[in-house]
Structure 1
Amino acid sequence: MTTLSAFEAAARHLSFKNAAQELSVTPGAVSHQIKALEGELGTVLFQRQHRGVALTAEGQALFETLSASFGRISKRLENIRQSDALEKITVGSTTAVAALWLSPAIIRFWREFPNLSIDQLTQDTVFLPRVDLDFVIRYGRDSNSKLRQTPLYRDELVPVGTPEMARDLADASLPELAGRWLIHLESAGRDWTTWGEWFKQLGHAGDLGAGTRVTNYSVALQLAGKGAGLVLGWRRLVQPLITAGQLSVVGSHVLTAPREFYLVEYSDDELSEKAATFKKWILSEVPEHST
């Protein structure tokens, strides 16, 4: 176990030095453990490079297995420690999904299951597997085909702005909309449809007018609600803002989103009873989800 722990830490950091710091040993001790493991297995696990190390194919396969196994062990130990405490489930999503859909849904969930605590993690970059994360709600499938991924729904993309803009542009053509001040979302994840892609898919290949660029969808929606321009709206996500009268759909042009939203399970274990309860409930929130 000591040798495997040393290998897992070195593979995770891709550095013998950083692994040694984590394990409170010397880099030489880590290197010795790795050499012993390679000798036992009869294969090279790391390619030694000028700056750091890289995993070989055999090393990568072993790391993935160990990482999943250590993660399950860690999670099981934590569950044992907290067996008498309130059981928690952790769900990850983007800030927009959390604010506009997931948080209100979780409040409804608590009314039915007050003894089950839900923690939320929000970030607008790709989630990496971690032992304390049960589910992620994401747009498009996760590239890790080993994860269980349940389709939730496919949204529609529509221009949204203030109710006044919606009245003024009720019959606007695509070129007219393209000439308006547009709020562009620039995020690290390039799965989101841009204004340029939206217009192109609907048949307008002309130039777009001047606009504002932001890196957060919630900020984009706030600007649109203040009359600063049009933003590309995910109809289901922004429906609470439409219902509240803060935003309105502008015009009649609609594009079906190219990808679906998914509920991704980030654990290799079978779902606990409480996690399975949450999954069943969240799917009931979108009764049209794919099966």
Structure 2
Amino acid sequence: MSRQTPTLKGLRAFEEVYLCGSYTKAAKALNVQQPAISYQIKRLEEDLETTLFEKAQGRLAPTLHAHELYDTVSRAFGSIRKTADKLRQADKLPTISIATYPGIGTYWLSPRLPNLSENLGVRTKVVTLVKNDDLLREEVDCWIVFGKGVWPGFDAKLLIQEEVCPVASPVVAQQISAAGGNIVPEGIALIEQEDPENRWLSWDAWQDQAQGNWQLPDKRIVVNDHGLALHLALTGAGLALGWVGIIQDLIKGQSLVQLSPDLVTSKSGYWLLGPRGFFETVEGQRIFDVLTGHHQVDGQD
């Protein structure tokens, strides 16, 4: 079967001639000269090796092949027009843009986006970056950033308190359980999040505060993003520290297993940031309400 497609101009001219029953009327509808239409139809007939229109009693009549072609062309152009109209309307809809980390965007924010769009009647756009400085340089409507709630020039409300626990895939969790529950067998890696700014709770901090006498492995995998750490844990690459507020759905769905009941917390967390006065607006408060479902403590800045 040939993969050669007739020209778009030829098919568009054919559709208009078929509907108008006249080269002249088709040319007027397409805002071109009549000879241009005649030329396109002639080229199309040569390409398809068939006659598409015949003159009968002074009128232009489509042939059987023309009827067959029109059925296909009209459906194709109809789908294109429908999609184009949808895209045009979408561009007219207001958009709420949020900048955050890849992990938050993937595992916590994305499941909430449909509800956010529905409640606000807008499209939602998410920008993900790893570093705070890069996030806060993004020209968006609001940000989800980790810290203690103090960002000069921004208003902030707490979304998720920092509370961490070790997690792993069911297979890795079973291996650890078989080894004694708090002893990580040799060969299983500890997934660490690189944190030169000491923003997040580390494995050392968790081990110091945990009640169980955990023996952590020397084998380490270091990544620069919490989302990547969770992804590696989900694939069975090792055990990671998970932020409880972010991974609740993964634990509930048994994609990840909480390895210890010990939860270590800090004064930090993930905050929703907006420009000054953001939460005094209906839109700002509604974004916060949809994302949390309840009121949290205001940040000081």
Q: What's the TM-score bracket when you normalise by the shorter of the two chains? A: 0.5 to 0.7
CA distance in 2, matches of 1:251, 1:269: 39
- 1:185-224 matches, cutoff 5 A: 185-187=193-195, 189-202=197-210, 209-224=218-233
Cα separation, partners in 2 of 1:150 and 1:242, compared to 1, 3 Å = same
TM-score, normalised to structure 2, is 0.57
Q: Given residue 248 of structure 1, which amino acid in structure 2 is its aligned partner?
A: V
- 1:49-88 matches, cutoff 5 A: 85-88=92-95
Structure 1 residue 148: Cα displacement: 0.9
Q: SS of the counterpart of 1:238?
A: helix
Q: Given residue 182 of structure 1, which amino acid in structure 2 is its aligned partner?
A: L
Aligned length: 203
Whether the 8 Å CA contact 1:125–1:188 is kept in 2: the answer is no
Is 1:91 aligned to residue 90 of structure 2? no
CA distance in 2, matches of 1:268, 1:288: 17
Q: Given residue 221 of structure 1, which amino acid in structure 2 is its aligned partner?
A: L
Unaligned runs of 5+ in 2: 1-90
TM-score, normalised to structure 1, is 0.59
Q: What's 1:282 paired with? A: 291
Structure 1 residue 158: Cα displacement: 0.8
Whether the 8 Å CA contact 2:168–2:258 is kept in 1: the answer is yes
Q: SS of the counterpart of 1:260?
A: strand
Cα separation, partners in 2 of 1:207 and 1:127, compared to 1, 3 Å = same
Percent identity between the two aligned chains = 21
Q: What's 2:235 paired with? A: 226
Between 1:86-95 and 1:266-275, the stretch displaced more is: 266-275
Instruction: Return the match for 1:120 from 115, 120, 126.
Output: 126
- 1:103-252 matches, cutoff 5 A: 103-113=110-120, 115-127=121-133, 129-130=136-137, 132-141=139-148, 143-170=150-177, 172-173=181-182, 176-177=183-184, 181-187=189-195, 189-202=197-210, 209-252=218-261
Largest Rg, 1 or 2: 2
Q: SS of the counterpart of 2:140?
A: coil
CA distance in 2, matches of 1:246, 1:269: 36
Q: Given residue 132 of structure 2, which amino acid in structure 1 is its aligned partner?
A: V
Runs of 4+ that moved beyond 6 A: 203-207
Cα separation, partners in 2 of 1:270 and 1:194, compared to 1, 3 Å = closer
Q: SS of the counterpart of 2:103?
A: helix
Structure 1 residue 143: Cα displacement: 4.8
Residues 180-226 of structure 1: per-residue CA shift (max 9 Å, x gap): 52111114653122212221233779875221112232222222222
Q: CA RMSD in A?
A: 3.1
Unaligned runs of 5+ in 1: 1-83
Q: What's 1:77 paired with? A: none
